[in-house]
Amino acid sequence: MRKLVLQIQMSVDGFIADNNGRSGWMLWNWGEVWGWDKALQQYHIDLSASVDCVVLSRKMAEEGFIRHWKSVAEANNDQARFAASITAAHKVVFTNTLKQSVWENTVLAKGDLTYEINNLKAQTGRNIIAYGGASFASALVQANLVDEFHLVINPALVGQGLSVFNTIPTIHMLSLIDSKAYPCGVVVTTYAAKR
More confident: 132 or 171: 171
pLDDT, residue 174, reads 97
Coil, helix or strand at residue 25: coil
Radius of gyration of the chain (CA): 16
More confident: 107 or 102: 107
* CATH ID of 4-193, from 3.30.70.2740, 3.40.50.720, 3.40.430.10, 3.30.110.60: 3.40.430.10
User: What does the CA dihedral 43, 49, 55, 58 come to, rounded to 10 degrees?
Assistant: 80
Q: Residue 55: pLDDT band by 50, 70, 90 thresholds?
A: very high
**Which pTM value belongs to this model?**
0.91
Annotate 110-129 with b (16+ C-beta within 10 A) or e (fewer).
eeebeebbeebbeeeeebbb
Residues contacting 104, CB < 8 A, separation 6+: 66, 70
More confident: 32 or 36: 36
Residues contacting 72, CB < 8 A, separation 6+: 79, 80, 82, 83
pLDDT, residue 28, reads 66
pLDDT, residue 79, reads 75
The residue extents of the domains of the chain are 4-193
pLDDT above 90 covers a percentage of the chain that reads 62
pLDDT, residue 33, reads 63
Q: Residue 177: pLDDT band by 50, 70, 90 thresholds?
A: very high
Q: To the nearest whole number, what is the mean pLDDT of the chain?
A: 90
More confident: 68 or 110: 110
* Strand-strand pairing, 127-131 and 4-11: parallel
6 has a pLDDT exceeding 90? yes
